[in-house]
Amino acid sequence: MIDTTIDVINKLGLHARASGKLIEVTTKFSASIQIGKGDKLVDAKNIMSLLMLGAGKGITLRLVIDGADEDKALEEIQMLFAAKFYEAE
């Protein structure tokens, strides 16, 4: 199990388009992937749950991944956040 944090660095935060891109990544993996603030974690494969987080720029989110492909899932999620969800700034 991986329990780490990730920073939201894109200008608009985890808005609809960014959440959609995150869903594209998370649904590729069989591992359980949860994201949230502190103890309030939501399913990172559910777009409504992601949108309800209200995660704006500058927020640090907790990321909990558990499963056979957890390392690869973490790598791809970190790449997506680091690339600012491939949005023009």
Picking from 11, 3, 14, 7, the residue whose alpha carbon sits closest to that of residue 60 is 7
- Residue type for 70, please? E
Could you confirm whether 29 is annotated as catalytic?
no
Picking from 10, 13, 66, 58, the residue whose alpha carbon sits closest to that of residue 41 is 66
Looking at 2, 13, 15, 37, which residue is catalytic?
15
The catalytic site residues sit at 15
